[in-house]
């Protein structure tokens, strides 16, 4: 029975990830470099805004190597609009930002 429950959770998780495809790469960088002071998306520096986790995961493709990664999805209220984006690390200290085109 435990095996069946685990498989069901994995299937739900995969459906949730697949639903988040369709984002475009916006930025990449290294932690600790000067680019971490500014993360531009939607015409603003996202570091100036409060991020809230949606609890969802986005499947994104590394722009350099083409490998698939799973990044958490966040929202931030910019102006009067709630904007959604995925942000995470490809590997230790190398990050990426993805957003849907508006």
Rounded to an integer, the average pLDDT of 53-81 is 93
- Locate 101 and state its tokens: 């085109």
pLDDT, greater one: 51 or 4: 51
What distance in Å separates the CA atoms of residue 63 and residue 82, rounded to the nearest whole number? 26
As a whole number, the mean pLDDT across the chain is 80
The pTM assigned to this predicted structure is 0.73
pLDDT digits (tens, 9 = 90+) for 23-64: 788 888 887 655 557 788 999 999 999 999 999 999 998 988
CA angle in degrees (0–180, nearest 5) for 65-69-71: 135
Which residue shows structure tokens 């475009």? Answer: 24
């Amino acid at each position: 029975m435990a095996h069946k429950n685990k498989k069901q959770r994995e299937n739900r998780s995969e459906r949730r990830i697949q639903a988040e495809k369709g984002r475009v790469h916006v930025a990449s960088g290294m932690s600790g470099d000067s680019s971490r002071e500014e993360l531009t998306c939607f015409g603003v520096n996202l570091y100036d805004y409060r991020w809230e986790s949606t609890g969802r995961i986005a499947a994104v493709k590394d722009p350099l190597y083409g490998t698939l990664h799973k990044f958490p999805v966040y929202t931030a209220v910019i102006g009067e609009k709630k904007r959604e984006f995925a942000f995470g690390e490809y590997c230790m200290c190398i990050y990426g930002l993805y957003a849907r085109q508006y």
